[in-house]
Amino acid sequence: MFKINLYTEKRLNLERPTDLTSLNIVYPLIEPYAYAHIYFDKNTSNIIYEVVEPPLNEKEKEIYNIVSSEIKHLLIIKLSELKDINQVISYLERLYNFILSEYGIKINDENSYNRIFYYIFRDIYGYYKIEPLMRDPYIEDIECSGSNIPVFVVHRIFGNLKTNIVLNEEEIINIIEKFTLRAGKHISYAEPLLDATLPDGSRINATYSKDITTRGPTFTIRKFRDIPWSPIELIKINTAIPEIFAYLWLAVEYKKNIIIIGGTASGKTTFLNAISMFIPHNARVVSIEDTREIKLYHPNWIPSVVRSSSSMVDEISMFDLLKLSFRQRPDYVIVGEVRGEEAYVMFQGMASGHAALSTMHSTDVKSLINRLVSPPINLSKYLVELLNVVIIMRHDVSFGKNFRRVGEIDEIIRYNKYNRVFVWDAFKKRYIFNKKSYLLYKISKEYGIKYSELYKELIIRSKLLRRLLDLGVYDYETFSQIVNMYYLNKEEVLRTYKIEF
Reading the chain (501 residues) residue by residue, the pLDDT tens digits are 688 888 766 666 787 888 888 999 999 999 999 999 999 999 999 999 999 999 999 999 999 999 999 998 888 777 777 778 888 999 999 999 999 999 999 999 999 999 999 999 999 999 999 999 999 999 999 999 999 999 999 998 898 999 999 999 999 999 999 999 888 888 888 889 888 888 887 889 999 988 888 899 999 998 887 788 999 999 999 999 999 999 999 999 999 999 999 988 788 999 999 999 999 999 999 998 877 778 898 999 999 887 765 554 567 777 788 888 877 889 999 998 888 778 888 888 888 888 999 999 999 999 999 999 988 888 888 899 999 999 999 987 665 566 789 999 999 999 889 999 999 998 999 999 999 999 999 999 999 999 999 999 999 999 999 999 999 999 999 999 999 999 999 999 999 999 987
Residues 166, 295 within the same domain: no
What is the dihedral sign for C-alpha 247, 252, 256, 260?
Answer: positive
146 inside domain: yes
- The whole-angstrom separation of Cα 266 and Cα 233 is 16
Domain boundary among 199, 222, 245: 222
- Whether residue 244 lies inside any domain: the answer is yes
The distance in angstroms from the start CA to the end CA of the chain is 58
| One domain for residues 212 and 245 | no
- Among 175, 204, 222, the domain boundary falls at 222
Q: What is the DSSP string of 100-166?
A: HHHTT-----HHHHHHHHHHHIIIIIS-GGGHHHHT-TTEEEEEE-STTSEEEEEETTTEEEEEEEE
Q: Confirm if 194 and 186 have CB atoms less than 8 A apart.
A: no
Do residue 207 and residue 344 come from a single domain?
no
206 and 245 in a common domain: no
Collapsing DSSP to helix, strand or coil, 68 comes out as: helix
501 is a domain residue: no
How far apart are alpha carbons 138 and 265 in whole angstroms?
Answer: 15
Q: Do 201 and 340 sit in the same domain of this protein?
A: no
Residues 112 and 157 reside in one and the same domain:
yes
Question: Following CA atoms 267, 144, 170, 76 in sequence, which dihedral angle do they give, to the nearest 10 degrees?
Answer: -20
Range of the domain at 139: 5-222
Query: Is residue 323 located within the same domain as residue 464?
Result: yes
Instruction: Assess if residue 295 is contained within a domain.
Output: yes
323/416 Cα distance (integer angstroms):
28
Q: Domain for residue 163, yes or no?
A: yes
Does residue 297 lie in a domain region? yes
CATH number of the domain within which 173 lies: 3.30.450.380
CATH code (residue 315): 3.40.50.300
Query: Do both 48 and 184 map to the same domain?
Result: yes
Structural domain count, the chain: 2
Say yes or no: 259 and 218 in one domain.
no
Looking at 187, 222, 257, the residue that finishes a domain is 222
Q: 174 and 288: one domain?
A: no
Sign of the CA dihedral running 282, 283, 284, 287:
negative
- Dihedral class, residue 413 (left if φ above 0, else alpha if ψ from -120 to 50, else beta): alpha
Whether residue 140 sits in one domain with residue 215: yes
